[in-house]
Structure 1
Amino acid sequence: MELSQLPLVLWNSIESYDNVYSKQKLETDQERPKAKVSIKPAQHVFRGDTVTLRCDIDGEGVTSWQYSWYKDDSSYSTSELQEHTFRSVTESDAGKYFCYGAERGGSRSSQDSDAVTLTVSDRPQAVLSVSPQKWLTEGDPVTLICEVYGSSTGWTFSWYNLTASSDNRYHFQRLSDNSRGAGGNYTVSSAALNHTGVYVCRAERGEPAYKTTFSNTQPVWVTALIVFSGVSPRVSLIISPSRTQHFPSVSLSLSCEDQRNSDRWNVKRYTDRWGLQDCSSSVWGSQTGSTCTISSTITSDTGVYWCQSESGENYHPVNITVHYGVVLESPVHPVTEGDTLTLRCLYQNSTPPNLSQSSLRI
């Protein structure tokens, strides 16, 4: 007999049974507590992070649960522990997780939790920027902004002053921490000459702490506020030949002149190609006393040079360029109102190297 030919009474019996079963199942599900999954420190984490999945079940009268974990709809683990921890998470741990619980020694069980997605990415990179600009005058405000791309929560930020020793090994002097969040700001409300330097940042989160790599470097240059009092600055960087633009393949001398002769000074530099370096390194220059000599300049010597004391104080940054063709000969240091200023264009292949000259009173 075909199903369509079943007696109407039998159809009504089947339909009535289905309705009763559905109603009982709904009532049973409503009575069963629903499990809930949470992830710490976040659903988007990075390789090497410590990650904890937690299954919470609010089951009245149940004192002990057996927790079952599922990943991507497949059984993953069963444990009496409420938490499942990855000590050093990898990309293979990424996926959708849910849990449910069964009463140990009893008959009750929970509903399945909603699934949560764990995403694992490469080790994060902190990114440092400077606002409003890198070249400042004494008294200007400046902010170092540290961010972690691809993640927005749970980070604590630290800033470091980067220094280089005579063997060009880097050392990190920690400045400060900031509040947690998507990014952190380290603000100096009134820049001083000694804030000249090269900075990096790093972020960390979790317990034990998981740290990002160090950020890109960001230099900050603070120049003296010109006060027409006739008082010379304590430390000056004396350049010979006395200009900021130079030709390749010539000798260049840089000397730190201390008005009080109280410290031995080293010449430091920061270039796009080589980063932070000390002149006493044999790689690019040689230092005698407080004088640094570059025997034969090359274009990659273009950068910012300044004086640093043995105690780490930084003074008088000067932007020096090395290039072919024509250079402008102008004063290295600021001039005073009313002085006569002479500007001269020099051509590398002329003898003497002189194109034109102009004088003006400012």
Structure 2
Amino acid sequence: MQCDISMYKDWTYSWFIGNNLKSSTPGLTITTLSNQAGQYRCVGGRTGRPQWSQLSAFLPIRVTDYQPSTTLTSDKEDVFTGDSVTLSCTVESSEWTFYWYRHRPDSTPVTTTSGYSYTLSWVSVSDGGQYWCRAGRGDPVYYTLYSDPVQINITERPVAVLTLQPNWTQIFIRETVTMRCDIHGGGDTDWDYRWYKNSQLFSPFNTKPEYRISPVYMFNSGSYTCEGVKGNKLSKTSDAVQLTLSGKPQPVLSVSPQWLNPGDSVTLSCEVDKTSTGWRFSWYRTVPYRAGLPSLSDSSYSVETLSDSSTGTTESFYTLSPAGHTGGYVCRAGRGDPVYDTLYSQPQFLWSGDLQPSVSLRISPNTTQHFRSKSLSLSCEEKGNSTGWRLMRYTERGLESGCVSNWGSITGSTCTISYTYTWSSGVYWCESGSGEYSNAVNITVHAGDVILESPVHPLTEGDSVTLCCKYRTTSSNIKADFYKDGVLIKNETPGEMTIPAVSKSDEGFYKCKSLDKGESPESWMTVRVPPGSVVSISLPRLLCGLLVVSPFLLVSIVLMVKCCRARGLCSTVKSPQDQI
């Protein structure tokens, strides 16, 4: 014990226990306390004035007959890596220094603190184990007893894993999205969940591991994360999942082949965005617009499900076998639960050039190629009781209905295009209000000076056909070479080429070329093989027979052919029956 008097330095100190003088010394050291408990105070004296200080206040000295103990507590006993843990060591009285131990109490202290608490920050698994404490004071140090141990259990922090369900790479507006937060390494399942969007907490308490958005919109796009919460413990935050939304998709339908031969099978292929998956595909035939039926967005057609595709297919293709004749088709895709449907595709058409029993499309001039700035007439010639026929065309500008003012004028059943443009090129056909179709005609409008006059309709084996090469400014034929599938087949002709009896091998792309005037586009010539056995008579064989039977008749025919050529009648087709 020490007696401090602030003024002067030459004091002699007197020590009292109660009112009894114990000693007079500069300081008081008590080496044995067992029988010296009591109320201590001191006073100072000196030879000069003032001779005495005031008496100090009493300082109680209490002597116990046991070594004091310490109590160790922890604010957490089960923690995750990265957390902090605070240990507290309590002891009677004050002025202690605290010693902290791990694994063994008689080991070197982990650390020493002047305060009664010790915090372990950003703990790792290696920081786990048993901890002790004790306190000490004085010189030499007097120690308390060791505390009882406290067990600190440190485990790796569980990891939150966020997934999108279904796990599609591309999500479209109005679909249903479920985000699932799974806690890996978290032991039991007694977790609550927090959800973040773009690092902002938007769902602070959720007892279920799933968060559903139905339907989703563009404003739901963003970066999503989640974490698990259990009491005062948190899992690691999940890696971010980017939710990117696109507008409602429209699949693309393709038809192969698009021009039909009798008995052919045709494949419809439907493709949604290439990066999206999980679709089921449905297939439809177009019909004239009818209220009450599913319809395309522009009401150009209603649609009817193909009979064997009502439930949809996982395959993105559908086979029509046999395909039938000219008609329009669309597709649509759906996925998810509830089912999310795309838009209908734009209609695609399967075309047949064969004449139909109900109506035929006739054109004038009767050829597939036409000069730009000329007139062209198209007529829907009815053969049955069908009504409400309209002319349709499919050009680079898309599908157009009716003989409307921006491309033609109509008189009765005939549409007249008074001035053709290159964008008038396309496929033309007629269709009725009851869904019947005519033959289709592929028309090419050429801005150049040379065209090839070729048949509009398919030929039948044995037919005779004449192809003519025409120059814009003259009505007569021009001297030209003829090509089939890019190969020269006849050169230096007077502007026309006759095949007296066509066969399937004559089918292909034809064009003509003039050395000084240019060349025509290519046109496809179709040759049909008639069912069963058909007797065909070639032109040379016919002429030989006529020569034997009637020389006079033969001379008349030759003169008639010359007259027709003089008038420029080309692209003529004669069947074997016509020739007999």
TM range (shorter): 0.7 to 0.9
Aligned to 1:337: 461
Partner AA of 2:227 in structure 1: C
Q: Deviations over 1:69-121 (max 9, x none)?
A: 2446664421335232334343663224223143xxxx486744753623304
| Separation in 2, partners of 1:158, 1:200 | 9
Match of 2:225 in 1: 97
> Offset of 1:336 from its aligned partner?
3.4
Unaligned 5+ segments in structure 1 are 1-7, 226-231
Is it true that 1:358 corresponds to 2:497 in the alignment? yes
> Which of 51, 55, 67 is the aligned partner of 2:177?
51
1:210-262 superposed Cα distances (whole Å, 9 cap, x missing partner): 4444445533213449xxxxxx8543211111111111222211112233354
Q: Distance in 1 between matches of 2:376 and 2:445?
A: 10
* Distance in 2 between residues matched to 1:270 and 1:121, nearest whole Å: 33
Residue of structure 1 equivalent to 2:212: 85
Aligned partner of residue 42 in structure 1, secondary structure: coil
Alpha-carbon offset, residue 60 of structure 1: 5.3
Matched, 1:25 2:154: yes
Q: What is the aligned partner in structure 2 of residue 251 from structure 1?
A: 375
**CA separation in 2, counterparts of 1:255 and 1:144?**
30
Taking structure 1 as reference, are residues 251 and 73 closer, same or farther at Cα in structure 2, changes over 3 Å only? closer
Residue 219, structure 1, aligned to residue 349, structure 2: yes
Q: How does 1:204-215 map to 2 (within 5 A)?
A: 204-206=334-336, 210-215=340-345
**Which whole-Å deviations, capped at 9, do the CAs of 1:167-202 have from their partners, x for residues lacking one?**
x95234143556465x62232121001xx2344433
CA distance in 1, matches of 2:206, 2:180: 12
Residue in 2 aligned with 1:305?
428
1:321 equivalent among 444, 458, 477: 444
Q: Matched residue of 1:137: which SS?
A: coil
Offset at residue 348 of structure 1 (A): 0.8
Deviates more, 1:138-147 or 1:12-21: 12-21
Separation in 1, partners of 2:499, 2:194: 85
Q: Does 1:189 align with 2:321?
A: yes
CA distance 1:144–1:178, shift in 2 (3 Å)? farther
Q: Secondary structure at the match of 2:352?
A: strand
Secondary structure, aligned partner of 1:300? helix
Given the superposition, is the C-alpha separation of residues 360 and 144 from structure 1 closer, same or farther in structure 2, using an over 3 Å criterion? closer
| CA distance 1:151–1:310, shift in 2 (3 Å) | same
By how many angstroms is 1:343 displaced? Answer: 1.3
Partner of 1:228: none
Q: Secondary structure at the match of 2:260?
A: strand
For residues 140-289 of structure 1, the aligned pairs below 5 Å read 140-161=264-285, 170-175=300-305, 176=309, 179=312, 184-193=316-325, 196-206=326-336, 210-224=340-354, 233-273=357-397, 275-289=398-412
Does the 8 A contact of 1:69 with 1:77 survive in 2?
yes
- Name the counterpart of 1:39: 164
CA gap 1:113/1:224 in 2 versus in 1, 3 angstroms: farther
Q: Shift in Å at residue 150 of structure 1?
A: 4.4
| C-alpha distance 163-292 of structure 1, shift in aligned 2 (>3 A) | farther
In structure 2, do the counterparts of structure 1 residues 101 and 156 end up closer, same or farther at CA, with 3 Å as the change threshold? farther
Preserved contact between residue 326 and residue 347 of structure 1 (Cα < 8 Å): yes
C-alpha distance in 1 between matches for 2:353 and 2:252: 22
User: How many Å separate the matches in 2 of 1:97 and 1:161?
Assistant: 45
Count of aligned pairs between the two proteins: 332
Instruction: Specify which structure has the bigger relative contact order, considering alpha-carbon pairs within 8 angstroms and separated by 6 or more residues.
Output: 1
Identity percentage of aligned residues = 40
Instruction: Give the alignment's Cα RMSD to 1 decimal.
Output: 3.8
Out of 169-178 and 276-285, give the one that drifted further: 169-178
- Runs (4+) of structure 1 exceeding 6 A deviation are 11-17
Q: Is the 8 A contact 2:173 2:247 kept in 1?
A: yes
| Structure-2 change in CA distance of 1:283 and 1:148 (3 Å) | same
Residue type of the alignment partner of 2:204: T
| Displacement after TM superposition at 1:164 (Å) | 7.7
The one of 95, 108, 116 equivalent to 1:9 is 108
The CA deviation string for residues 108-157 of structure 1, in whole angstroms up to 9 with x for no partner, is: 86744753623304325444243532112132112221122244433333
Match of 1:68 among 194, 197, 200: 194
Query: Distance between the aligned counterparts of 2:189 and 2:173, measured in 1?
Result: 40
Cross-structure match for 1:4: none
Residue among 257, 262, 274 paired with 1:133 = 257
Match of 2:300, as an amino acid? Y
Distance 1:25 1:171, change over 3 A: same
| Residues 178 and 185, structure 1, Cα contact 8 Å, conserved in 2 | no
Mapped to 1, the partners of 2:279 and 2:187 lie a distance apart of: 34
Give the TM-score normalised by structure 1.
0.75
Query: Which stretches in structure 2 are left out of the alignment for 5+ residues?
Result: 1-106, 113-119, 131-150, 290-297, 479-494, 502-580
Partner of 2:414: 291
SS at match of 1:315: coil
The answer to whether the 8 A contact 1:279-1:287 is kept is no
Contact 1:308 1:315 in 2 (8 A): yes
Asked whether the 8 Å contact 1:37–1:116 carries over to 2, the reply is: yes
Length-normalised TM-score, structure 2: 0.49
